[in-house]
Chain A
Amino acid sequence: MKMPQTFALISLAIAVTVAASAQTGNTKAAEALRKADREWMAAYASKDADKAASFVAADGAIYAPNAPAAQGDAAVKKMAADMFKLPDVKLSWTPTLVEAAKSGDLGFTSGTYEFSFKDPSGKTIDDKGKYVTVWKKQADGSWKVVRDIFNSDLPSQSAQ
């Protein structure tokens, strides 16, 4: 009875692969998006505000919770620089869905993030939540962020 089981597993694997590729639109562009997303996270990890802001399009915006939108390069840079001033700040995110349009010039990443820093008393503040980032291919072939928005999973008292 091994054969039918193996066959069923292979069929299932094919079905899953077909479903996944049907869902992703342009897989090559999606892979480029994943790469840009990882590089963007590395810029945050290195606490380089200029580099982090360079991933955002000139008309892009970051929508952080409990603050007005940061629109344009100067506002995005300031937001990153302010964050990097937090003691022992750590930010990482994991995309759970990456999709690009068939055209290969618009896409999005979406997933979960983890964020922590030390408050003035030295206590570690942990936050976790979710995000959506919309990316657009630029004239030079690079992918840049047009909209980035996130919010916390935690009740507001414990998140801030």
Chain B
Amino acid sequence: MTAEDEIRAADQAWLEAFSAGDLERSLQSCTDDCEVMPQNAPAAKGLEAIRSLFREWFRPGLEIRWTPDRVEASGELGYSSGTYAMSFEDSGKRVSHRGKYVAVWKKQADGSWKVVRDISNSDLPAVKAEQE
């Protein structure tokens, strides 16, 4: 398995944990000093802040899917980059978003790949995204 394949597998495993709304398993993909950077909110720095952020995201009815269109690695460092689509219930209405993301991955001492930086933003105009 190449480093790229390993990152693709780790990216897919992270998505599965997200899709299942499994908070603890989702956090296992992040390093202790990881930063998750959501749009229109400050960065969540470190596992406790990320836990709070994911807890907010993992609402009932959340549907999320991301697809890496580019994965590259060099030894112990790599990234995945691609598109995402998500939807959730908000006051009885279905809200949809789509956009793009970059995740930076680092190989850990135990051989696993973990996320050090994750950032995403919407493809939709700011106002439209609010109303959809």
Contact = CB atoms under 8 A, between A and B. Distances in A.
A156 B129 contact: yes
Contact of A151 (B38, B78, B124, B129): B38
Interface string B52-92: 00000000000000000010111111110100000000000
A18 to B, nearest CB: 15
Interface in A48-104: 61, 63-69, 97, 99-103
Contacts of A146: 70, 72
Contact of A105 (B38, B42, B74): B74
Contacts of B1: none
Interface residues of A, number: 37
Nearest to B41: A153
Contact of A159 (B40, B73, B102, B124): B40
Given A68-B123, A156-B130, A159-B126, A132 B102 contact: yes
Candidate in A99, A105, A108, A151 with the most chain B CB atoms within 10 angstroms: A151
Classify the secondary structure of A's interface with B: strand
27 contacts: A63-B101, A63-B102, A64-B121, A66-B121, A66-B122, A66-B125, A66-B129, A67-B123, A68-B123, A69-B100, A101-B76, A101-B77, A102-B75, A102-B76, A107-B77, A110-B35, A130-B42, A132-B37, A132-B102, A147-B79, A147-B81, A149-B100, A149-B102, A149-B121, A150-B119, A151-B119, A151-B120
A19 to B, nearest CB: 11
Nearest to A66: B126
A113 B130 CA distance: 24
Nearest to B43: A130
B40 A151 contact: yes
B125 to A, nearest CB: 5
Given A106-B74, A130-B119, A156-B130, A66 B102 contact: no
B8 interface: no
Contact of A152 (B40, B81, B104, B125): B40
B77 A66 contact: no
A151 to B, nearest CB: 4
Nearest to A106: B74
